[in-house]
Every structure is written in C-alpha cells, then in structure tokens.
Amino acid sequence: MATSFDNLLYDLDAESGILTITLNRPSKLNALNGATIEDIHDAFQQGFDDPQVRGILLTGSGEKAFVAGADIAELAALTSVQAQRAAERGQDVFCKIEQSTKPVIAAINGFALGGGCELAMACHMRVASDTARFGQPEVNLGLPPGYGGTQRLPQLIGKGKAIELLLTTDMIKADEALRLGLVNHVVPQAELLAFCRQLLGKILGKAPLAVGLVLECVNAHYSKTQNGFEAEAHAFGQAFATEDFKEGTQAFLEKRPAVFKGN
C-alpha cells in the first residue's frame, strides 16, 4: 500500500505491519519547511489511525541526510509571531510522534541537524548509519532550537553535555552519539533499513497492548501533569483484563510461543 504526499513517501508493508515514512526532499537534504511538517503530521496521523499499521520506521531519502535542518530561506522570511507559531506547530507534531502507542524508530541515514536531530529525538528509538552526523547549530543563526531540542537532548544525554552541544554547536559522529546515549545502535549504511525492520519486527512480536502501555508509562515519567508510578500501576492493572495477558501467561505455562491479537 502506498499513499501520496508532496514531501515524503508513505509505504505500508501489510504483512509485517511496518509503515515506512521517508522524508523526500533530496535536493534540500530533506530540510524541514512548513509544508513538510504538515505532511509529517498527516502521515503519522494516518499511520496511527490505520489498524494495519503496528510500527513506524522514519528515514530520509538518499544517503546524505536524514534531515539536514530547517529550511533557512523560509525561516528568514518569518515575523517573530509567525516564528513562534511555527515552533509551536512543530513541537505539537513531534510530541504526537513521541506520545504514540505504536513504536516509532528513526533510521538516521546521514545528517541529522537542527530540526532533523529534534525530529529523531521525538522518535522512541534511534538507529544511525555509521555515516550519520548530529548537531544543534541554531545559535549560529542567532536562535535557540525551536522544536524541542532544549528539552529532549538533556533527557537523552544529560544536562551538562546537552548544554555543551547546544552552545558550541559541535557536530558529533555516530559513534559519539552512541556513547552519549543519543542513539541506540550504529550500523553500516547498507544495513540500516534492514536492521531497523528487524528491530521493529522483534518488538511487534510482543503483546501490542503491553507495548503501547510501556510507551505511555515511560512518557508519563517526563510529564508535568502525571505521576509515572501511578500511571504504571494503572497500566499494570489494565493489562490484566486483556486477552493478550491471558494468552501470554497461558503460553508461558504451556512452554510455547504466544500468539497475541492485541485486545
């Protein structure tokens, strides 16, 4: 199944349940503009709403860039009020990805700079090619990050190192990103998508409702309006009422693989 968008490719493998969303502005190194942000929103929303979609893989076209940043020409034409609205919209879209109960993996195939790094950080996991590069260069333009970079980078790598990267704008290689905890894995470029599909497929073999509850509970830890421990206890009790729990425990007792249906 394929769906048409102006700035990205949408490809669902119905057999595996994996939706691949590929940012597709190669002449601009997949830079984010307003129209691309809206396409990202619409594509993810379609994936979230489609029961056939069980997990999402996000990547960029070509081998040079995942997303090389924001479209500077578009940014330069904005007023202060328009810029704030653009940042708020981008944050809303990226938070929607982060809060998904369907697992989302970023396959980072090249430069992930500025908004591209912020987009990758909004995904639940990040796998980088060995050619990937990461950075938040916004202060070079006289700006702070606008799509959540000051919030998510400290969560992933710690406050002190995050401030250093945000203020120096140093670009780091994939192996350094792995050491810092910014990415989960680094693999050769040619193996990137296959590795991500294998990782996502492994997750999709688990109880889907439990996977979604885990994502909700982890996000609750970072929420200013939720108590993560209370959310976990509630989710634990909620899971007991599902067919997946019955199947999982029965399969364990019978020493056989579980066959989950997600209800």
Asked if residues 197 and 16 have their Cβ atoms less than 8 Å apart, the reply is: yes
**Any residues with CB less than 8 A from the CB of 171 and at least 6 apart, and which?**
113, 133, 134, 135, 137
Pairing mode, strands 8-13 and 2-4: antiparallel
Name the phi and psi angles at 79, rounded to 5: -80, 170
CB atoms within 10 A of CB 27: 7
Catalytic residue among 88, 98, 118, 247: 118
Integer Cα distance of 24 and 30 in angstroms: 6
**Any residues with CB less than 8 A from the CB of 211 and at least 6 apart, and which?**
101, 103, 203, 204
Catalytic residue among 15, 74, 98, 138: 138
Distances (CA, A) of 62 to 19, 24, 28, 67: 18, 8, 11, 11
Integer Cα distance of 195 and 209 in angstroms: 24
Task: Please say if 74 is a catalytic residue.
Answer: no
Task: Please say if 138 is a catalytic residue.
Answer: yes
Residues forming the active site: 118, 138
